[in-house]
Amino acid sequence: MTNLEVYNELAADLPKLKIRANTLMPKVVKEFRKVRRFPAWQCYEYTHQESRNKYLISFYSASAKHVEKPDVDYMGVTSDNAGRVIIKWETWLYRKDDTVDFIGTRAISYYCGHFFSRYRERVWPNVEMSANELICRYFTRNKRPTPIKLNEGIKQRYQEYGEFAQYAMQVTDGICFTNQGCEGDESTVGDRNGNYISCVWYYTIVSKSLLTERQTGAIAEEEKEFVRSHFFEPFKMALEREMRKLPPQLRPPILDEPH
């Protein structure tokens, strides 16, 4: 199957996943009411009757006040020769080159078993929990990964991932080594019937406590570049576009065309 076909199949199962989550909710709330220490997680396995796709349904309560309405999340489950693979299908904001407009695009991410083995070893080394709870913890704690280029400074001590990891994702719990790619016709981004999709493969994670000073500095530099290219520059372009609509006498000199 192509990545787009995988995405569409998982997305098609979502209504039944939500029904199952609603069915489980009374049981989940009852269990959360017994909890004395937060945050707390519950995770349930589910197999879709028609597609036979397997999923994890995660329930998360950040504190006692969230017990009655916990956060719900869904993850696809498959396997490869190395073991279990977790799949997340999402919508990302996408900006085409030389434009200021952000539009939604399909995105799919794959997390290999090695990734979660290292997550347990490096982030939760002394905490007993099931494999499913570990997965639920990762996704509730690391909701908004920030993509940064994997430069030589960041790869220090982890050169073995240089053969296939081209990027890094900064998350709350550390730095993820990843590879990224796209499939389909880029001109169809934002089109409901388009075939463009972004893909990310997660290989391993390094906790912040294991990062060297050089790595921390290299990550900070890439963060600045990400903010500049994805937020500052689009805002500047949009501001300039609006300012050019003003009469020449009201237009800031910096926006005038060079002579």
Residues in Cβ contact with 131 at an 8 Å cutoff, skipping those fewer than 6 apart: 84, 116
Tokens representing residue 232 in the block: 């500052």
Q: What pLDDT, on the 0 to 100 scale, is given for residue 155?
A: 65
User: Secondary structure of 54-89 in the HEC alphabet?
Assistant: EEEEEEEECCHHHCCCCEEEEEEEEEECCEEEEEEE
Helices (H), the chain: 3-33, 113-123, 131-141, 152-155, 213-227, 233-243
pLDDT, mean of each 10-residue run, the chain (259 residues): 93 96 97 94 95 96 94 92 88 68 84 93 92 94 82 62 66 88 84 88 86 73 66 61 67 49
Q: What pLDDT, on the 0 to 100 scale, is given for residue 11?
A: 94
Task: Count helices and strands (H / E) in the chain.
Answer: 6, 9
Distance CA 174, CA 204 (A): 10
Tokens representing residue 193 in the block: 């019937």
Q: What pLDDT, on the 0 to 100 scale, is given for residue 232?
A: 59
Instruction: Report which DSSP code applies to 258.
Output: P
Q: What pLDDT, on the 0 to 100 scale, is given for residue 247?
A: 72
Q: What pLDDT, on the 0 to 100 scale, is given for residue 257?
A: 44
Domain ranges of the chain: 3-243
Q: What pLDDT, on the 0 to 100 scale, is given for residue 255?
A: 44
Q: What pLDDT, on the 0 to 100 scale, is given for residue 40?
A: 93
Q: What pLDDT, on the 0 to 100 scale, is given for residue 238?
A: 61
Handedness of CA 252, 254, 256, 259 (dihedral sign): positive
* Interstrand relation of 102-111 and 197-207 (parallel, antiparallel or unpaired): parallel
